[in-house]
Amino acid sequence: KEKKKANAKQDREFYDNDLKTRAKGAHDACHLYIKLRDIGKPCICCNKPIGEQGNAGHFHESGNNSRIRYDEDNIHYQRIYCNMYKGGDSDDYRGNLIKKIGIAKVERLDGLKGGTMKRTCEDYKEIENYFKLKIKQLTE
């Protein structure tokens, strides 16, 4: 029994300090929050209803813009078709985003575009906890 407890503690410590695990936790919490925040609203790109089957799509793609990867203004719920098959549909996304959050916030995102940011396990834990709190606030 003691060995089992020690192994469980060791596993917890590993996953608490595993960068890949922490990054996935932050990603999942962020995208769930975006879905819950935007559910029932039309697709940011095409204004069609989304329903349950959508994606948390980034205005400025997440891969090349790590500084704004988890920025709530940069991520909005969109139809899978728009996100996957129309490349995010950035022209309509931009116009609809301006209507939704305003030109000043869109220009702020434009200014933060590019560059890299190295995150630690602690950074990812903070991001995950932040979005879990936001989810809790939405669902209470």
SS3 assignment for 34-93 = HHHHHCCCCCCCCCCCCCCCEEEEECCCCCCCHHHCCCHHHEEEEEHHHHHHCCCCHHHH
- pTM, whole model, 2 decimals? 0.85
Q: What is the pLDDT of residue 91?
A: 64
* 92-122 per-position pLDDT tens digit: 899 999 999 999 999 999 999 987 889 999 9
